[in-house]
Amino acid sequence: MRKNHLRNNIRRRHALAGIESMTRLWSNPESEEVAHNAGTTLIAIARRNRVRIPRRIRMRICRTCKKALNSTNSKTRIKMKCVVVSCLDCGRVHRYYGGV
């Protein structure tokens, strides 16, 4: 039992390190294709290892098209204490409630 718990902690640390390295690559892309591939890989690592992506990063990724949500390809509105971010590439609407 104890050995399995330690193995899971090691897997979790490796997954978090992979997420951090993909985040650096995703936030400073050399090209659009590199950013898209890094976003896809970042989400795949988190899902495979059941690790949460940090909120500051999760809010900036469109879950449909895997692109960075920035001022050039998204529209941000605040409606009744709710932040609404619309992706202009795929049309997905992200709503963030509460203490954002």
What is the per-residue pLDDT for 33? 87
- Counting every residue written for the chain, the total comes to 100
What is the per-residue pLDDT for 29? 78
| pLDDT < 50 positions in the chain | none
Dump pLDDT digits (tens) for 48-66.
999 999 888 888 888 888 8
> What 3-state class would DSSP assign to 40?
helix
Q: Is the dihedral of CA 57, 25, 51, 90 positive or negative?
A: positive
What is the per-residue pLDDT for 27? 84
What is the per-residue pLDDT for 92? 95
What is the per-residue pLDDT for 8? 82
What is the per-residue pLDDT for 100? 53
Sorted by where each begins, the domain ranges of the chain are 1-58, 64-100
